Amino acid sequence: MTMIDEGPLRTLIAEAADEFPVTEGAVDRIAAAASGGNPTTGSVRTIVPHGRWGRAALVAAAVVIVAGGVTLLDGTPGTSPDHGTVAGPSTPAIGVPGAVPSTTVPSGSTMPFANQGPVGTAASSAGAGQPANGATSAQPAPGQNGGPSLPAPLPTGIVGQPTKVATTGSIDLALGHNPLDPAVTRLTTIATGAGGYVAKSALQVGPSTGTVPSSGTLVLQVPQAAFASVLTQVRSIGTVTSMTSTSTDVSGQYVDLQARIDALQASRLQYLTILSKATSIGDILSVQNQLDTIQSQIEQLQGQLNLLDSQTTYATLTVLLSQSGHRPPPPTATPSGLGRAWHQSVSGFTSGVEWLVRIAGRTLFVLLCLAVLGVAGRWAWRAWRRQML
């Protein structure tokens, strides 16, 4: 295969080009046309590209911006919507007068006890006289005997009243092959030892155990302040398969009942004054009738108040005992300070990696979109520049 020599080709092309005469005045026409036009700025980018470092800096800046945006969208590390996140407009310190913690749990999700905060400190963001919704938490905890959070002192409630919190809980214990009676005895001992009592007891006999009970339900009434310690002791009896705790702040309802009772009693006193001054039989009967109505209302409200008192004085813990549960694995020893620190560091590292993996998908997607846009933009830009120049 041959190729044309460069020298003769150059000469021949020059001769061929010389055969095209230049039109007279063409240069002047262009100069005249050019002198009337101002340069267009900003329409065409620099044709000579920036240096590689400039491009690399631009790409790095774009990546940082994308990663930052994705991070902001995703939230901070360690926060996941899958974990019953404690959220609320504000969480004032417990114990500060007038400050009540607000705790909400997304419906359908469970919140571990460890994240629940103080057991028995009810959630309430309502103002004076407003009953609050209770905070409910439930945690399936198979094979775990970790201790729950100890209760913090009850916060002082609204209008100078101590917070009235009604707490109920339920715990399922699997006893494995251990007999039921010793567990029942121990539960009774725990309840009475804490100043409470066994409100209800029901034991069932299973088909495989003959006359020996294989499952049962005990309802313990224990003082509010001792609820957490009782819960801890109860959990040590067997393997916890599920646990639920509900705390309801009834301070508003309590104050409302008290105020209504006070008002009715004031009315009752006035009616008594009127009664003492009545002279006719008709007046006496009429006033007496009103007094009876008021007295009835007072007693009704007082009954509700007493019920609230009882509910807030004693917490209810329902214990479900079962022999059919599997035998739990031996409890792991509580790690020492160094061991705990090591476990925490491993956990933190794992959380960080999880976070990276979680945002990597979105980041890659965004980068892919940007790459496609960049390629398309570059293609369009080159086409436009070819058109313009």
Binding site for another protein (CB under 8 A): 1-6, 8-10, 12-23, 26-27, 29-31, 33-35, 37, 39-41, 43-48, 382, 385-389
CB of residue 366 vs another protein: minimum separation in angstroms? 30
Tell me whether residue 22 or residue 72 sits nearer to another protein (CB atom).
22
Cα separation, 23 vs 15, in Å, equals 18
Tell me whether residue 24 or residue 82 sits nearer to another protein (CB atom).
24
DSSP 311-362: HHHEEEEEEEEESSSPPPPPPPPPP-HHHHHHHHHHHHHHHHHHHHHHHHHH
Tell me whether residue 8 or residue 89 sits nearer to another protein (CB atom).
8
CB of residue 53 vs another protein: minimum separation in angstroms? 15
Instruction: Indicate the DSSP class of residue 109.
Output: -
Tell me whether residue 37 or residue 207 sits nearer to another protein (CB atom).
37
CB of residue 30 vs another protein: minimum separation in angstroms? 5
The single residue listed with the structure tokens 């398969």 is 241
Tell me whether residue 40 or residue 76 sits nearer to another protein (CB atom).
40
CA 160 to chain CA centroid, Å, is 30
The dihedral built from the CA positions of residue 47, 50, 55 and 58, taken in this order, carries a sign that is negative
Instruction: Indicate the DSSP class of residue 159.
Output: G
Structure tokens at 155: 């916060």
CB of residue 31 vs another protein: minimum separation in angstroms? 6
**Three-state SS letters, 123-150:** CCCCCCCCCCCCEEEEECCCCECCCCCC
CB of residue 51 vs another protein: minimum separation in angstroms? 11
